[in-house]
Structures are given as C-alpha cells and as structure tokens.
Structure 1
C-alpha cells in the first residue's frame, strides 16, 4: 500500500512510519516540524527513517508541509494518490491548549478538515486518525468504554479531538469515506515527547532536580507502550471501517454507525498509579527522585482506564508490554541518545509545595 503518515516527525508518527516501512509499504511522511518541542529530536527521528529506507531499500518520501495549508494539501493528495491515510499530526498537549487555543484550531480543526477533503477527493480507501482518552472529560465511569458519552471535555485540546470524531462521521455518512478514530491512552516509550511526564522526570532525576508530582501522585493513567500502540494503529489501518448493519438510530451507539465509521479505545487496560510509575522509573535509573508534591492541575482528569475489548475483537489487538519493561526500554534509549551514563544511586527526598 501507499500510505500517508502525517506527523511523521512526531512520537507516534515516527514509530508508525517505521513499522510500515519495515513491512514493505510505501510511505509518505508529512510534518511541518514546528518548535512546540525540541526540533532536533524531530529531525533525528526523520534521519532514522531515511537511514532505514537507505539501508533496506524501503520506499520513503518526506514532505515538509503544514496540514492547515489549504492550497498545498490538496496538491499533495492529487500528486501522490494515497491508498490509505494515517493521520497522527496535530497540536498536542493538554495544558498548552490553556494558553494557545488558536494553535489547536489551526492544526486540529482546519488541518483535519484538509485531511478529510483530501481523502474524499483522493478516493482514499481508509482514514485512520488519532483521537484521545481526554475526550471522556468529566465522565468518571471506569473503565472508559466507547459507548459512554464523551461530550463534556475538560480542556480545549480534548474538545478539538472530539470535534474530529464528529467531523469524521459526517464525511463517512455523506461521502461513504471509511474512517476510524483511535482514542490513545497515555503513550510512552523511546523517542517520546519531552513535554510528557516520563521524559521530564528522567531529565530532572538525572540532573538532581525535584520532579513535579501532581495530585500527590495519586491519580492513575493507562500508560501504553508505543510499540503496542503502533501495532493497534497498523492493524486498524489494514481493516477499513464498514457500516454496522445492526446500528439502531433510536438507541445510537456513538462509536459506530450505519456509515463506514468506527471509534476505538487503544490502551493498556491496566491503569497504574503515578507514584508507582515513578518508582519504576527510579528502579530503571538506579536513583531516587526528589518529589515536589502538588495538587491536581487545572484540566487534568484524576484517572484513565481503557476498555479496549472492542478493538481486540475487531483486529486482535492486545497490549503486551508491562510498564516496568517499557520504562526500562525508554531509559536505555534516553541514556544512549543523550550519551549519559547511568547515575550513581542516591537516597530519596520528598518536598511539599
């Protein structure tokens, strides 16, 4: 297949493009490579993809473009004629949406519209796109299920991702474009984002600096290792969404439709308390953290927990990487990438804000 992977310089996009290249697909990676976080890290990911293509003869092309560009994006779709699209680009970050909401409008709303239009006019066989567990917002029924309501987001970021799901359904209904949205649950692993907890904690622990532990470390997350996420993404890409003949408009399931439309949770189905996550990182680093205990941040939800049974039934997806193993792999990558030695052990200290 010829697959467009947007956000190819990003965390999940890089791993997804690499997996597709390794199995022999033709991949066009697209990314604007903005400075939301370390551009050098993004360029290093792209260099890895280019090196893989050179070493193996894989078919990889990179296009530096902004998905919000209403002139360039249609040209790319007309020129390349993609079979499938995996849309992983977009403005990320829950807390950044509190200070720069316009970035989310441009990327997550305008950009997603351009992707939908490109798929529609380019007769793309299937669009798989990234949503987020954050859409569950004020819902506290655990585990989160796709048939739960997701109409009370707690941040603007989540609101734009929920909008993507609704926009996708309209195109699936009007134009019979097969679309599948994946609600990611706290992805972590090698080549991760520097603004996320694991990266931030590792850097500060190595520097001997306090780490900010919000909600006193008591909230839980369904941490999901990136290779497990990518396995689910690729399997979904291979299984185009189809109409559900049993869908009942009088009792509508929000995750499916009589149109070729699906929404799935993609998570580890095993929530871990943040304090235990930090302990696993301390074990992998061989050093104790200095914890600065803080209240829950504005816009954060106390807990996430994925019911991923529908995705497992649909494509056989089942995460298999334990959190301790995933963290160890991240630490090994981090120390190698930044050329750091494993630190000498230190005693723990706890600070209170």
Structure 2
C-alpha cells in the first residue's frame, strides 16, 4: 500500500510555494509507492478565502504599504488568523482527509499551520504534521507552531527565529531551500568575462508578480554598458505591455520582454547577472543557476532580511538606489570581473543541490517512524 503525503500549498500567493512543491515531486521515483497530493489551502475556504489568496498579487504589485500592514497585523495576532481560517476550511479539510487518508501532512504556507493543527487537535485526529518554511530570515509567527511534529528550516537564520518563538531545538531541522533540478548549473567551471564585442547578458526579474521599476533598471544598463537585457514581467500584463512600448522602440533587439514563463531556468542559465527583488524562491533559483544576483528591493515583512542575507554569504550585492546601478556594475566588472566571479564561486559552495531530496527523505523517515515525536502518530 502506498504512502500518502498531503501537501498544503498555494496557487496564487506568488509562485514560490508551487515551485517548492514541484521540487519535491521530482524526487519521487517512477516505481515509488509514494503518492503526493497537493491542495491549494485557500481553495478549502470557499470563495471568501480564495479571493483573499488572489489579492496577494495586486497588493504586492501596487500597495506595498498595505501589504506591510497586513503582514504586521498577522504577526501580532496569529491566533486570530488561525481561528478565522479554521472556521472557513474545517468542513472541506475534513472531507479531504477522509478522501485521501494521508499518512503525513506537509504545509508549505504559513496561513494554514495553526488552523489545520486546531482542527486535528479538536477532532482528535493524529497525523504527523510537518511545516516547511518558505522564507529565509524574517518569518511569520504563523510558521512557528509548537504543536507541529517538526519544522524544516531553509536557513540557520530562520531556525534562530523559530527558537525565539519557543520551538524546541530538536523539532527544527535545517535542510536547505528546495530548488527544482532544472535550475542547477551543469557547467561547474562557469566564469564571466566582459570584453569589447562580447555584451554582458543581463536578466531583470521580480518574482511571479512582476514588482519593481524594471524600466529604469534596463535604461541604466543599456545607456551605460555594452549589454543585452531580458526582462520577465511575470503575471503583470500591464507592465509587460508598458515595457514593450517604451523599451523596444528605443533599444530594439538589445531588449527582450517576457510575461510569466515556465522556462525561466533557460533565461537564468544563459545570463551573466540577474537583477531581482529579495524573493526567496527567485534568489535560490538564481543561486542554483550560478548567476550573480543584484537585489534591488524586497517586499516589506518576510523579505526584508533577505538582501542582507545574500550579501553576508557573498551570493550577490544589494543596490537599494536604482540610480547607483552604474557604479554597482562597474565595481563588479573591475579587474576582469573579479568580484563577479567571486560571487559565482561563493554560490557554488553555498547551495545544497540535494535539499529537495533531503527534505523528502526526512518526511518519509518521519512517516516510517525513524523520527518519532512525542505524540502518537496513528491515524484515527
């Protein structure tokens, strides 16, 4: 009989949660008896909760201060969030359990940890529950529920926050950030050179929602360096149209504009530098592709600590003021791209290419009883 893993994810709050789930799917062997069932947690709450999930894109694209307020309020009163979501998802979640009969539950979204644990506790249903944190440094209290059997942390920094929230050290496992295999750079001897007649290949992106002043970044690059620029506007169709109108007419084939693409790895792997905001998923995909990153911003709340995290480990540099891009790039290109190539080497040493595999194996070990938490693991 196969093992059933239920993953609680999200389809509309950025693309990171889906990417994490896909990275775990990849590690299931063709002849494996492991079955993964993924559900969008917001869909369990009917149209009300689904609309809340879908509001993430518009808010983060055009109302960052509102997003910061929402983030702060959720962090102050996690129990209120848990109770509200519990009431909305309870019936559909119990139906889902009856249908799938999971051997273990993995949550990759903070909004559903406490609410699902509330339901399991009140219904006296005992299923191992594991949280996989999808943020790097600043984490919601919603990620850190003491009732979870284990919390998988991508970084030591996130682990420290869990400890601050009162999670026992033995319940936290630092296993890295899972990235889909197609992002990993196959050429381990990659090196950037910048010489006359060989344009610098630049990629500008900002996560699935297309946040940030991409036009100004592109203009700074094209006006000051011999380069080509590829821009990924994500789901932001208005931004894509605006960029095509303003940049293509001026710079022609030196610029390529993309909407949301499933082949982002090809763009990363063929680039010398990637400009991005501090999105955990985008950052780690770029690191896996061995592309130096220049971080030009971060969403308030969960992304605020990510730029400093990248600089601390020499995974990229931070450029808070877009007008300073020329100076930032110039320094990276000095002495035959010395700093740029040092970043490439640091990324290669930093990334855990087996993170997804390690995480999946840990989950299966918990299900098999190799890691036994205090609670009874039997399914009622």
Q: Which category of TM-score, normalised to the shorter sequence, fits these structures?
A: 0.3 to 0.5
TM-score, length-scaled by structure 2: 0.34
Whichever structure has more helix as a proportion of its residues is 2
Task: Report which of the two structures shows the higher radius of gyration computed on alpha carbons.
Answer: 2
TM-score, length-scaled by structure 1: 0.36
